Structure 1
């Protein structure tokens, strides 16, 4: 494309006054003027005046602040407003729109608008020139940032940490804006409806568990909650070792192997180190040295203040799994809903990049409404409800500090129901196993007359009259055993002179014989 000069109207102020960045560059002799392309800006605006449909093509690319000449930004705002109202966008209409805001003379008058209109090009090429304008704007932002950093480094008492914070903030802002032709702020995470359903609507692959009973699903966070001393860190360490390929299963559920784990050890790092040491030997040195990274102590900023930080940490350490130990150390005020929403933003940005997330968290302090042995609910998780609302799965460990046997409940499910499980901790070796006393399969095998869903629910909960939700969970567990060929089902019936009969399940003879 041949380069042509676009005339600047006499009424328009010179670049040195019209450029909002001119003060930044003054006094820095020898530096070229900030990058810009007035021809591309003219083509964008002229095309929008005569072909309103071109505005729809350029709108996702450009913001008014992307134009080098502020007057051009005013004209672009006028075009957007007219297009939104369904009004004509010709030079006369644009002039009237600008005049209503008192900006017509500032942009150069009606004659300048007509001159711009002569630069119109076919609509299909408009977004190409819009991208040129956008790229020049990004270059100006980077140059201005470089000047600010240079000025700060030359100042007396320059603080490297403050300079790095400025750079991090600009990098974060650039990531949000989207750079380049393929990474636009308003389009880079958009997909068509069919792709969304096909790619995200299918059953999630389990990180921990099976398709029928998922404790942790890919693309969704797992929150492990409980009071101090019930073994949250012990279980988390076993999951980490499984992600590193050193274990195949945790609590009898398979764990998918990953590549590299970043463990944010902020809650008493020495204790975390001692607990982890129980499970490793010198033979594991290579795995741990190459595929596991521990961050100790506070983060550079809380995640509710810098939502991009979590994803940046994962990228910096090439981690496909992040463990937060624990949430209270990464958020300023856990009970604040705004902090909860901001943290969920950080969580989702990490997950969107394909990194898996395991979060350790605490319950709220027990009051008169929380008795020992009481089944936990989501309300017992400490802090804003937005922490659990954005989690994929929530597992709750109940018990007292140091108990060798605690109970695991899944308060928020993915597929199927995990637990309740009686978990036996070996605090010397750092291992956790499932007590099969409450395993539905084991219970069914020891019941010669079989079990109804209500009877199984009573055994699992320890309640003579289990709640309806517990009965339905027990029914799903029994149906899963039937589907796996480990149980048979005798359908019940209702009414009659002798009363109804509930559906009863029995372990298959072949399965009992195989186990015995």
Structure 2
């Protein structure tokens, strides 16, 4: 800049001034690039490495290969109205990540290192809920591997998308739980806010941090039925919240219900459920009601057996199951046949279009086991 000051003296050559100014601006841009700490190269990968170095599959954070509730490297969104047990299930997943539980809802949870739980919504109530499931023997693990952030964040994530990654790095967490999205994002219905939050989410995931998000459904009208199958459109706010999520689980029910229905609205691979989930509120635990297990239902049907439509009707609670539910019921029955737990009897209308005429019965040893 001292050279430019000299060039602005009376009688200076305008062409020389332009040349000096261009050189100065170019030098400033080079300094900015060099001081950026490599951020422009941080996530850049050549095409071959991007394709071949990315694993075809990874161990699920929650679930099993082919039945994944939460995939590593992708976020899980747990949605539902207030009081249906979202935080109850989240706290069990957290304890499993810490190695204090092996399974949640009959699905294994991969153990992690350290969890950052952003308790932005009613932290004191959450603390009371955790007292139901921990004891003094867990003290060292909870002190060293679980951190709670109580109350609002320093800024909304749509205003400062990098904040989420910075928080995880500050506390050395490999898992972040957000409870809940409405408390960390400004205007949930604004697409710009949704896009900014998804930027925050993807930055965190790109750094190898697993993310569990708790969220709410849209307010239902007076004609809404709790027995109606939920859909992604019922998730509150911008569509970008669900678009960027890897998996979306929806808990359907009313506040305080001991039994709610878990639906898999956005899947990783094969759909999980619908599952009837029984909450034991005094103990803070949850388990799947196995009375709707396909093999259990086959055993109860005895020698009459079940068609795919009958099984789908019983497991979904819907008089007219969707084609997808019929196909899923058929796959379950065929899997039981393959494993030797069921016998398939194809009727006159069987074949490619005869799913309703095909009937399955429990293998004799399984019927006699409950006789």
TM over 0.5: yes
- Aligned counterpart, 1:401: 255
- Aligned counterpart, 1:460: 315
Question: Following superposition, which runs of at least 4 residues in structure 1 exceed 6 angstroms of deviation?
Answer: 102-105, 132-135, 513-516
Classify 1:238/1:513 alpha carbon distance in 2 versus 1 (closer, same or farther; 3 Å): farther
Q: Which has the higher contact order (CA 8 A, sep 6+)?
A: 2
Segments of structure 2 that go 5 or more residues without pairing to the other structure are 8-13
Q: CA deviation at 1:483?
A: 5.0
- Aligned counterpart, 2:11: none
- Aligned counterpart, 2:362: 507
Q: CA deviation at 1:466?
A: 1.3
Segments of structure 1 that go 5 or more residues without pairing to the other structure are 1-12, 20-101, 114-129, 142-173
Q: CA deviation at 1:436?
A: 1.0
Q: CA deviation at 1:482?
A: 4.3
Query: Between Structure 1 and Structure 2, whose CA radius of gyration is higher?
Result: 1
Q: Does 1:278 align with 2:132?
A: yes
Q: CA deviation at 1:184?
A: 5.0
Distance 1:237 1:248 in 2: 13
Question: Given the alignment, which residue of 230, 233, 238 partners 1:384?
Answer: 238
Q: Deviations over 1:242-280 (max 9, x none)?
A: 000000001111111111000000101100000011000
Which protein has the bigger helix share? 1
Classify 1:232/1:106 alpha carbon distance in 2 versus 1 (closer, same or farther; 3 Å): same
- Aligned counterpart, 1:157: none
- Aligned counterpart, 2:122: 268
Question: Given the alignment, which residue of 342, 350, 356 partners 2:204?
Answer: 350
Q: Deviations over 1:214-233 (max 9, x none)?
A: 11110111111111111110
Question: Given the alignment, which residue of 82, 86, 106 partners 2:18?
Answer: 106
TM-score, with normalisation over the residues of structure 1?
0.64
Equivalenced residue count is: 360
TM-score, with normalisation over the residues of structure 2?
0.87
Classify 1:462/1:189 alpha carbon distance in 2 versus 1 (closer, same or farther; 3 Å): same
- Aligned counterpart, 2:141: 287
Q: Does 1:473 align with 2:321?
A: no
Distance 2:275 2:138 in 1: 30
Classify 1:304/1:184 alpha carbon distance in 2 versus 1 (closer, same or farther; 3 Å): closer
Q: CA deviation at 1:415?
A: 1.4
RMSD of aligned residue pairs (Cα, Å): 3.1
Which protein has the bigger strand share? 2
Q: CA deviation at 1:441?
A: 2.9
Q: Deviations over 1:72-103 (max 9, x none)?
A: xxxxxxxxxxxxxxxxxxxxxxxxxxxxxx97
Q: Deviations over 1:371-394 (max 9, x none)?
A: 222111111111111101111111
Q: Does 1:196 align with 2:50?
A: yes
Contact 2:340 2:363 (8 Å CA) reproduced:
yes
- Aligned counterpart, 2:272: 418
Question: Given the alignment, which residue of 162, 174, 182 partners 1:320?
Answer: 174
Question: Given the alignment, which residue of 72, 76, 89 partners 1:218?
Answer: 72
Distance 1:444 1:247 in 2: 31
